[in-house]
Structure 1
Amino acid sequence: MASGKNQNVLLFRLVVLGCGLGPAIILLVKWLFGDMGANPPEYVVHFTGLTGLTLLLATIAFSPAFRLSRWVGFMIARRQMGLWAFFWLVMHMLSWMGLDQYWDWPWIYQEMLELEYVRYGAGALLLLIPLALTSFSRAPAVLGWSAWHWLHRLVYVSAALGVTHFWILTRADYLLPGTFALVFAGLASFRILDGMIHRQ
């Protein structure tokens, strides 16, 4: 029985690995076949951002999934998914700086000052840095469980900033950013209600 559970966890971790590596394969194939539209740099920037935000919300969703199913695989793979989300959001920022802004640091600084959505996106990524740095298994023991737990609640703030970034950036069709906003609202509401129930 235990062996079967371990196999299920391993398979799930492989699925998460596929979620992290799969977008890179898709991006490579699209580049090789010239299937990135009229503006490939813009496509890469948007693709990496959408991938990172999707994986970030998936990371948050692992906690309610565990609460509802009590399957430990969600919690075991949560760090792995979170690090993939961080990786893709870093790629999003780097591709924006390099492919869109051509590493023009004065211009990048000016864009951050003038464009609200850039500030939201940068803030979302900055909040994830301490989470990534404290994602190793000994971190809770080093920081103390309470401090580590409160620190990692920043993922909700980061996701909120990321969704806001996506919403402001959108010009016409709000279906996708609206879907992201609804998913985040549902996850945040679950977290609040679950916290209230367990404090009683």
Structure 2
Amino acid sequence: MDQRTAINLFRLLVLVGCSAPALWLGWQWFFGDLGAVPGEAVVHFTGKTGLILLLMTIAFSPAFRFTGWVGLMAARRQIGLWAFFWLLAHMLAWMGLDQYWDWPWIRREMVELPYIRYGVAALLLLVPLAVTSFARVRKAMGWTAWHWLHRLIYVAAALGVTHLWILTRADYLLPTLFASVLAALTLFRLIDAYIHRQ
């Protein structure tokens, strides 16, 4: 199998893997298997899915360093956009299914609840990354400016993990796992940047 075919197959796997949760969620919703409060289940599911994909987007860079396979970098933009999609769906699900589009109450929640502010800030930081993820925009910006801008993904991920941590009430296993993965990825990025500057 030639490299182009392998890359296309990998991109297809990313597409299937990132869209499959939506099919599962739709199936669960249709058959009423999301529990007593389905809206809340959708909000939690979309948020966790988006955060996992965001961390996977960051992980593609060290994976490329270790393997040298260009398919990982070719699919990184794709999985990053999927992460943005799921986190945007998380926000919209919270506004619609949890807050019922009650804008005065939504504004009040954003002002009064720290974890909501962290989540909104994370999503807003991802907007310029999504907009500038295309090759034409990257070329127009220049590599250096584009590269520095996309380091915001680490800040967005940290805000997302903080959002989940504050929201958690009992079992901290998942937020601890997310925080540990992000810390490891950030440490790798700092060490890698230092080594390649020598």
| Fold agreement, TM-score > 0.5 | yes
- Among 32, 35, 42, the alignment partner of 1:34 is 32
- Among 128, 131, 143, the alignment partner of 1:145 is 143
The answer to which of 6-15 and 57-66 deviates more is 6-15
Amino acid of the structure 1 residue aligned with 2:129: L
Deviations 1:115-147 (A, max 9, x none): 000000000000000000001111222111110
Residue 33 of structure 1, CA deviation: 2.0
Amino acid of the structure 2 residue aligned with 1:4: D
Residue 102 of structure 2 aligns with which residue? 104
Report the Cα distance in structure 2 between the residues aligned to 1:33 and 1:94, rounded to whole angstroms: 22
Unaligned stretches of 5+ residues in structure 2: none
Return structure 1 stretches of 4+ with deviation > 6 angstroms: none
Report the Cα distance in structure 2 between the residues aligned to 1:132 and 1:142, rounded to whole angstroms: 15
- Among 84, 90, 93, the alignment partner of 1:92 is 90
- Among 154, 159, 162, the alignment partner of 1:156 is 154
Deviations 1:135-160 (A, max 9, x none): 11112221111100000000000000
Please, what TM-score do these two structures have when normalized by structure 1? 0.97
Q: SS state of the match for residue 124, structure 2? A: helix
Amino acid of the structure 2 residue aligned with 1:113: V
Report the Cα distance in structure 2 between the residues aligned to 1:102 and 1:184, rounded to whole angstroms: 33
- Among 61, 64, 84, the alignment partner of 1:63 is 61
Superposed counterparts of 1:163-178, under 5 Å: 163-178=161-176
The alignment status of 1:8 with 2:15, answered yes or no, reads no
Deviations 1:15-60 (A, max 9, x none): 1101221110110111122110110000000000001001000000
Amino acid of the structure 2 residue aligned with 1:191: R
Amino acid of the structure 1 residue aligned with 2:190: I
Report the Cα distance in structure 2 between the residues aligned to 1:183 and 1:192, rounded to whole angstroms: 14
In the alignment of these two chains, the number of paired residues is 198
Q: SS state of the match for residue 14, structure 2? A: helix
Report the Cα distance in structure 1 between the residues aligned to 2:27 and 2:104, rounded to whole angstroms: 34
Unaligned stretches of 5+ residues in structure 1: none
Amino acid of the structure 2 residue aligned with 1:125: L
